[in-house]
Amino acid sequence: MKARYRFRCYPRPSQKLALAKLFGCVRVVWNDALAFCVSEYKGGKKKPKNAELQKQFITQAKKLEEREWLSEVSAVPLQQSLNDLEQAYSNFFASCKGNRKGQRVKPPKFKKRKSKQSARFVKTGFSIKGEKVYLAKIGKIKVVWSRELPSEPSSVTVIKDSADRYFLSFVVEIQPEILPQSENSVGIDLGIKTFATLSNGQKIEAPKPLKKQIQKLRKFSQQLSRKTKVSKRREKARKRLARLHAKLSDIRTDFLHKLSTQIIRENQTIVLEDLNVSGMVKNRKLSRAISDLGWRTFRTFLEAKSEKYGRDFRVINRWEPTSKKCSCCGFKVAKLDLSIREWICLNCGESRDRDINAAINIKVAGGLSETVNGRGGKRQTTAICSSSQRSVNPPAFQQLSIFDLLK
């Protein structure tokens, strides 16, 4: 399987200037080809093939006076830019026809100068020379090797983010590392106040970096808005704000990586609820809190690491009533307000923590319960408490109605 290894790099001032030229050329080639494809589509014609775009916007464009500076950079990233455009259109067309799983893919957009910049080199355009990486027409760049590459990389992408940080992202082939079998399995209930509640009763709090730094973020944003456009002070304020955004993102990503790795190493089977995150963030009262947690990123990390380490990852239906169903007897409450964090089951009389009860039900819905109702059958049977909560000589169970309990 393929994986990405990203490292921080520190180019010299002359190399930063060469990279700026490269990013600009890659961006111009992408935008020119995309504008041509859009115009052809509006004229009723089909999208040109990738070979035609390569010839028109790289080979022939270098001969034009207004595009002759394309010859100052390596041709490899320019070719890869149009290959990416071809792949973006292919994904868009497949999504429109229903041949691609997941959310509908939007058509490719024009690239901006102020956003994140990137350029990809294949084997013919880069090489690793000792502690440095050589890029064609850029030179040898100093890299901080935080870990060794497992194999020879097939490509490398040089990235410059909004905070003016430079990274090298290598694509390598890795062998799945199968961890020893574990008897543990876990259901995970994601929440806002508590990031994750596990079926074993453990509650994990999130760092919530945006919530802690919201005042500082507002201050920096206000200072940026007051600066004169196209001025040095505005650029300085923009970089200060971008560095704060990068710090918040790094804190969140580090937390999600460590938590997902811990859960994968300790459990053989992981069950998660399929949340409609894209729909939930449309709620203006909860969008900031949900975005600060990173639920979708956490699910992506669990899926990728489960495949890498040989674990079983399952996702249950989002309409499963995990919070309103008693994890002991299976009794379902008609309505349960979000403000109620603990409730008592009217059927069995057990006190239930809302989050822990939901995590247990998520595990049950994933087919990992020892109860009669959790063995994967389509039909509900008589509700019986799980064997871990059952006494040695259990009494005969009699199913009572709510009216019998209220007498």
Separation of alpha carbons 336 and 373, rounded Å: 22
Residues tagged active-site: 189, 273, 355
The CB density around residue 194, as the number of other CB atoms within 10 Å, is 14
Map the chain to HEC letters: CEEEEEEEEECCHHHHHHHHHHHHHHHHHHHHHHHHHHHHHHCCCCCCCHHHHHHHHHHCHHHCHHHHHHHHCCHHHHHHHHHHHHHHHHHHHHHHHCCCCCCCCCCCCCCCCCCCEEEEEEHHHEEEECCEEEECCCEEEEECCCCCCCCCCCEEEEEECCCCCEEEEEEEECCCCCCCCCCCEEEEEECCCCCEEECCCCEECCCCHHHHCHHHHHHHHHHHHHCCCCCHHHHHHHHHHHHHHHHHHHHHHHHHHHHHHHHHHHCCEEEEECCCHHHHCCCCCCHHHHHHHCHHHHHHHHHHHHHHHCCEEEEECCCCCCCCECCCCCCECCCCCCCCCEEECCCCCCEEEHHHHHHHHHHHHCCCCCCHHHCCCCCCCCCCCCHHHCCCCCCCCCCCCHHHHCC
Strand 155-160 relative to strand 117-122, pairing: antiparallel
For tokens 């994986």, the residue is: 3
Separation of alpha carbons 20 and 48, rounded Å: 29
Q: Phi, psi (5° rounding) for residue 190?
A: -90, 140
